[in-house]
Amino acid sequence: MTWTQTKKWKGTTISTRTTVTDAKRIVVKVGSSSISGDNSWQIAPLVLALAAAHRRGIEVVLVSSGAIATGMPFLELDARPDDLATQQAAAAVGQNVLVHRYQAALDPYGIVAGQVLLTANDMDDPTHRGNAQRAMERLLELRILPIVNENDTVATHEIRFGDNDRLAALVARLIGAEVLVLLSDVDALYTKPPQQPGAEMIPFVGVGDELVGVEIGATTVNSVGTGGALTKVSAARHAAEAGIAVVLTSTHLVADALDGASVGTYFEPARN
């Protein structure tokens, strides 16, 4: 018996995704490996999907990793540095280049990007959190597309978010988004790592579903960034508990996800 046969899925929720299509404010998160190095070409189709949503009147916030990965070639680094100072240096160079690439891709659609850099301390401190909220609210009112990233240049190991999946969930809650889309190199959540035999795609995670029997891999660190299924599931639950619908899918399916197609894994929002 398959995973989906053992669960009583809500078929209408899986098939229609009306929460996504009706949303007025959406946060999209993309990881380093999806938009840097050999995959930097994915910035263009990602921006195309964001621009299409923007054109429909949706307020879109992009949480983008990739500053360190983008800066690495300029520092002649072949792999993600281990020491904090070099990570900060790579981020200082890469953040500038990354935002420039996004703006260049946005220019044909007449959309202006606004850079927002945050640390974990900003989200913990009420004054800093309020300032960040007001800034992003005003950017959205002005039809600017905020591009949010952790401020890697000044963040320390002790106060880092750890991954931008968590940051994206916190931003979605901060601005009252209805939907959070978490993008990665994998098209959905699976019952075990998708490369393993017998792995089954999970199309729907209901409120309170403990995912019994599902093998969720730990956080990983690769040559360009950090992340993994565990961080995404944790972030998805954090957002869903706050009443935010979450779609977990791959970067190349972002347009379908924003159109409400039944792609990836949908986390049902709590009815707060």
* Binding-site residue positions for substrate: 65, 152, 164
Determine, yes or no, domain membership for 69: yes
Q: What is the pLDDT of residue 81?
A: 87
Cα→Cα distances 158→57, 66, 85, 162, Å: 39, 20, 14, 9
93 located within any domain? yes
Any idea what DSSP says for residue 125? S
- Residue 176 in any domain: the answer is yes
Instruction: Determine the structural domain holding residue 91 and report its residue range.
Output: 25-267
Partnered with residue 79 across adjacent β-strands are: none
3-class DSSP state of 120: helix
How many structural domains comprise the chain?
1
The per-residue pLDDT for 71 is: 93
pLDDT of residue 228: 67
Residue ranges of the binding site for ATP? 29, 184-185
Binding-site residue set: 29, 65, 152, 164, 184-185
9 belongs to a structural domain:
no
Q: Which amino acid is at 146?
A: P
The verdict on residue 6 lying in a domain is: no
Q: What is the pTM of this model?
A: 0.89
CATH code of the domain covering residue 134: 3.40.1160.10
* Rounded distance between C-alpha atoms, residue 187 and residue 219, angstroms: 17
Domain assignment present for 259: yes
Residue 11 resides in a domain: no
Question: What is 7-19 written as a DSSP string?
Answer: S---HHHHHH-HH
Residues of the chain with pLDDT under 50: 1-15, 158-159, 219-227
Q: What is the pLDDT of residue 119?
A: 84
- Dist CA 253 CA 265 (whole Å): 12
The answer to whether 31 and 164 have CB atoms below 8 angstroms apart is yes
- The answer to the question of residue 197 being in a domain is yes
